[in-house]
Structure 1
């Protein structure tokens, strides 16, 4: 049986693989802020700005998602592309979205992303480095890519579910009659729960073209549909 130190080392090793595999997210985040013109917005105000202030200056997005934007900005702050300072909450106007949160500012790195007319910006290079199609579009066009996507999702689900099943105390599963896995693909992930806790009925819910290729699992029922229409009860 693995010791705590051995399990920790294995988990850190897994984290390093994820880090290296998804390092492209750093450059995609750069593309995002360049397309939105965030460095130019910050530069035009000549000061650090809050997310609502930044979003209010967008010209190509009528309803920006502040939560998603905050994730992109915080990733780039971590990578030292932007600075971030906390805004103290104004007790007299807590509902004012400009009175709390963070202020994001430029760094010597992000100043190279400011679009100018002198050809001294790296923003065109950032955009040039990212083009193509979504992974799901590629999967629809190429059978080998579809299988690769399928296999990748199965392995990710297995790894995550293994930690969930073995990391959560048994009493947490007591009293659960059924669990719905929305977007469960082939059902391998929820089958892990049902196998360890057979008193739980597993419902694997995904699109019809995904479900039709899903294998049978003991204690798991496959249900086809779209989560945008309805989700099975559980």
Structure 2
């Protein structure tokens, strides 16, 4: 009996050690994925139309040099095959290993839609990694990780840094595209009931462009900070308006906010929602929030990612967080939306509708 107890304890300690090793090197997978996205390797294989050897891939990499290291790439690909980012097979002659796209790497194509390649590049950029080193300081001292790293919040950093502003907006565009594909599939006809719609924090306007194409009768407004609107492209049927959602929101039948509320603390969210309430018709107006709804015991495809995103908010947002259904209910009620409805989507986000009565 005693030997069994000792054996169980030893086994538990060994498993614990293995789990910590894997956790402490968790960044390796993300960095390896970033490397192949930067090298356009998924695009190279996709354009080829079939699995490729390392030497074929190397020959297509932009601006290869005599120093290009095939062995280094082989080690990266071996790891990512193990992580099921790429597939592997042996050539018909048996002489070469051929790498192909998996269901995961198909999301890493630069010019495809939907794609998460811009998000990979943004989240793993050195600018975005520095605030993560401030998490323990946030616990000890309070405050915002981004401000500890750079002396300002992420929005001010983007406003002062055009290069980062582009990287950030590209990432937000790709995630908006992914989310809106699910939204249009799961809620699209709901937009058709409105004569006008404002996308608050709509970035470059791609979301409103999709809505305008589906519902040409609708007045579609893309609303964001002036420096964001300044670089937004022209979209047929979409008006770009610059401003500050903490001051006022353009009037419309309904307000759309996708992945905006999670950037802000509860007090700020209530301010934004109250401005939205002022912007929509009394009684019939509504807010349509596309955001994560955390489920503590959830085991769905995206539930784990929701909790990861909550820590991303600690690192990158000004007090932002992902929220449970109860937390959404509380801020909606405080802002004057006493009734709500949650619509699950085949996506990371859900739809939270807020009604005035």
Shorter-chain TM band: 0.3 to 0.5
Q: TM-score normalised to the size of structure 2?
A: 0.31
